[in-house]
Chains A and B, each alone.
Chain A
Amino acid sequence: MREIVYDVFARKDRGDSLAHIGYIDALDVETAKVYAWTTYDEQNWFEMCVVPRSAIIPVNRTDGPFARSGGEAGAATGGAS
């Protein structure tokens, strides 16, 4: 079972900033949505989104998890990290 990383973003209330709250591994977008919703259930979120990590393109850092995920190359396909 090959899972990829999805980053989880959420805002608690209207007017709040969308914040990075964590990440989960999932087989596909559908399971990623379920895992994110059940794993990060500590708040009654106004909005939650998941993003495949490979779609996140670092602008100024060359280290850290986003840089390692493949950046632009992965973003083009939304593919696996």
Chain B
Amino acid sequence: MSQFTEDELIAKVQDGYIVESPEEMTEGYKKALTVQLTVQADTELMSAPAYWMAARHAPSTNTQVSAHAIIQDELAHANIAYRLLEDLGESKEQLVYGRQPHEFKHPYGFDQPLDNWADMVVANGFFDRAGITLLSDVYENTSYGPLKRALVKVDMEETFHLRHGEVWMRRLANSGGEAREMLQRSVDWMFPMTIEWFGLPDEMKRHSGQLDYKLKGLTNDQLRQVWMASTVPLCEKLGLDAPAHWDEEKEEYVLDYPFPCQYVAEDKEWLFDEGEISWDTVFERWKGRGPMNEIYVESIQRSRSEVGGWLADQVAA
């Protein structure tokens, strides 16, 4: 039981207090942190099978090595985040191996197939950029000490993934022809996918407590702007079409398509022409999960019970 009331703890963390142990947490704080860490851990974990299957499309042994280095990083990040959850009383075993595919909390983007090398490098350029955007904000603002320290490593490595993505996006863009067209097709489905990733617009955002408890610093819309502020200029520099532009009057990036809108996963296509849809429809699509959800989760869970069974008798401690 915390020595603080909810209001006392909120006032303290807003004033810079760093929480170091679960014993100091109120129920509300612990719940909000658990949700945040579960999303973070699941996202890192699901990126691994997505990248692993995409790494088959690597064009050289060198690029195979970098792709697998990225996968190794993502698994380590997931492991660290699940470990932090164990400190809060959750079970890593249950979270990784005991849940059904649809129960994981990663964004819909990591339920999608990465079908070629362009998809892989744009995932590094866009999805990992979203990861850095979200986690740098957490690093700078979080009131939970153990998470802040763990993120030093994570942020360092995510920056390498992003560089990998950007370097390869430039290479494919400069080579023109089919490579460039493939790259543009990846941008076409992955740009709106990442925009949606940041969630409900601020005007509709239900109260989550993450800002009150200082588990993050920026709102969804602010984070979306931070992501666009690096991604839109990158696309412009590479001569790629991105469906957003800088609005001089509003002094912010503005989307050139109805948001949110419907996505047809089988065709990897956004239905811009059908106009804006409700967020309830988006939540329904997210809840239904995407085409690779079961395949990715199965690839992680498949050998646990079998190999675990073999070892159970041998390992006493």
Contact = CB atoms under 8 A, between A and B. Distances in A.
Contact of A38 (B76, B153, B156, B312): B76
A26 B308 CA distance: 14
Contacts of B312: 1
A79 B317 contact: yes
A15 interface: no
Interface stretch (B4-12, B79-87, B185-193): B79-87
Nearest to A65: B87
A24 interface: yes
A28 B316 CA distance: 10
A2 B317 contact: yes
Nearest to A35: B79
Interface string A1-37: 1101000000000000000111111011000000000
A1 B153 contact: no
Contact of A42 (B92, B156, B308, B311): B156
A41 B79 CA distance: 14
Nearest to A19: B149
Given A1-B312, A42-B157, A63 B23 contact: yes
A28 B219 CA distance: 43
Given A1-B311, A63-B23, A64-B20, A22 B153 contact: yes
A4 B79 contact: no
B27 interface: no
Q: How large is the interface on B (under 10, 10 to 19, 20 to 34, 35 or more residues)?
A: 20 to 34
B24 interface: yes
Contacts of B311: 1
Contacts of A64: 20-21, 23
Interface in B64-99: 72, 76, 79-80, 83, 87, 92
A1 B308 contact: yes
A64 B144 CA distance: 12
A65 B317 contact: no
Given A42-B157, A64-B21, A24 B79 contact: yes
A80 interface: yes
B204 interface: no
A39 B153 CA distance: 10
Nearest to A80: B317
Contacts of B315: 1-2, 27
Nearest to B72: A38
Given A4-B317, A63-B24, A40 B72 contact: no
Interface string B19-51: 011011000000000000000000000000000
A27 B316 CA distance: 9
A24 B23 CA distance: 21
Nearest to A79: B317
B76 A39 contact: yes
B153 A42 contact: yes
Interface of B: 20-21, 23-24, 72, 76, 79-80, 83, 87, 92, 149-150, 153, 156-157, 308, 311-312, 315-317
Given A39-B80, A79-B317, 6 more contacts: A1-B315, A39-B76, A41-B72, A41-B76, A63-B21, A64-B23
11 contacts: A1-B312, A2-B315, A4-B317, A24-B79, A25-B83, A25-B92, A39-B76, A63-B23, A64-B21, A65-B21, A80-B317
